[in-house]
Amino acid sequence: MREFAFELRLCAHLERAYPVVARQLGTSVRAAGGRIVDIVCLTRGPDFDARTRLTPDAIPAAVVEADIGAGRWRRVVDAFDGPPARARDLAERGEMAGFLETERRDGHAVVRQTARYPDWVGDIVGIENKPDLGTPGDLTAQLRHDVSLCVLDYAILATESYVTRAHLNRLPPAVGVWRVDFDAAEPIEVVREPTRLDASGWGIEPGDTHPGRRDVTPVTPDEKATQRRRVAERAYGKGWRTYGLPACVNAESGTEAGVTTLPDCAYKDRLVDAAGECGPDCPGYDAADPPDVDLDAERATRQAWDPDAASARTQVGLDQWTND
Ligand code: SF4
């Protein structure tokens, strides 16, 4: 539970510095769900603002990479690689995300983009939270994964512990280290700056371990580029306010760094993970409506994210769209 509260409080501070902050995103290329990074922050690329006008949702990477333009219709089955069922599924997902539109022409389902896909992602910063370095768990293996695969531009460890030279020596040298003290005027102290990772080159993805050896898989630059786009899109669509507020009389909306929607509990006197901690099994539980908070509205005021982006897009000509 300490890590959960630490993560939410740290996100509240980070969104003052980064336009996109998200939690719990997978970065593995081959092993689905293999490496989950605690916090992912994005910096602005050259066309970042165009992305905020496009859609508030994540756009699937396969939709972005399909050969579909903004100004021409293509048959759905020709626009995507693979069998027709996959093509129809991707067209539907792209339409639901607000990036594609579809209709029928001459008896065929056709598709086009509602806008050009912008070059919007700057750096991808991954942060691993380990408030207590006395119980490191898989920390070293997780960070080795990050600096070996290099889907991220930077990998950082965040902790509340005092960081010794022995701790630093155990970590890959490219990993940055932050010491976090939420009671301090400047809560994040940079103990060691991260070194930029080779995000555009080949990567090596660590796999399963066996007695005396470990599987590794080379990953091409193209595969990494796709995964980076996937991570960025998921971060943009998801954000970090993915928690629920407890439906309990003891629930309160907690505050940190100007955020006022955190899931706090008067009974436990700390932030709580409602999905894992709250309910009849908790001795303090007393059913009630959860605190009335608007997580999307708070995100919209503090992050570069417009929940109404798609509805602001208007068609100005037969084959021409614009973002107002
Ligand atoms: S269920 Fe327990 S942990 Fe959750 S808000 Fe109520 S008292 Fe707190």
Cα of 272 from ligand 1 centre, angstroms:
7
Distance 233 CA to ligand 1 centre (A): 33
Taking the CA of residue 286 as reference, the ligand 1 atom at the shortest distance is 6
319 pLDDT more than 50 = no
Instruction: For residue range 170-211, list pLDDT tens digits in order.
Output: 999 999 999 999 999 999 999 999 999 999 999 999 988 888
The phi, psi pair for 316, rounded to 5°, reads -105, -10
E strands in 114-250: 121-129, 154-159, 176-180, 188-192, 203-210, 213-219
Contact 186, 228 (CB under 8 A): no
- pLDDT at res. 164: 96
pLDDT at 309 over 70: yes
Distance 244 CA to ligand 1 centre (A): 12
The number of helix segments (H) and strand segments (E) in the chain equals 10, 16
H helix or E strand, kind and range, residue 92: helix 84-96
Q: How confident is the model at residue 266 (pLDDT cuts 50, 70, 90)?
A: very high
Of 1, 243, 267, 269, the one to substitute when testing ligand 1's pocket (max ligand atoms within 8 A of C-beta) is: 267
Cα(274) to centroid of ligand 1, in Å? 8
For residue 272, give the ligand 1 atom closest to its CA.
3
Q: Does residue 285's CB lie within 6 angstroms of at least one atom of ligand 1? A: yes
What residue segments make up the domains of the chain, in order of their start? 2-48+119-238, 251-302
Checking if the pLDDT of 146 tops 90, the result is: yes
| pLDDT above 70 for 114 | yes
The one-letter amino acid at 137:
G
What per-residue confidence (pLDDT) applies to 69?
A: 82
Measuring CA to CA, how many Å separate 241 from each of 11, 232, 237, 272, 303? 9, 16, 11, 14, 11
Q: Whose CA is nearest to atom 6 of ligand 1?
A: 285
CA separation for the pair 201, 215 (Å, rounded): 20
For ligand 1, say whether the CB of 246 is within 6 Å of any of its atoms.
yes
Token pair 């396969």 is found at 62
Cα 285 to ligand 1 centroid, rounded to whole Å:
5
Atom number, ligand 1, closest to the C-alpha of residue 274: 4
With a pLDDT cut of 70, the percent of the chain lying above it is 95
> Is 248's C-beta closer than 6 angstroms to any atom of ligand 1?
yes
Tens-place pLDDT, residues 238-254: 999 999 999 999 999 99
pLDDT at 1: 67
Strands 176-180 and 154-159: parallel
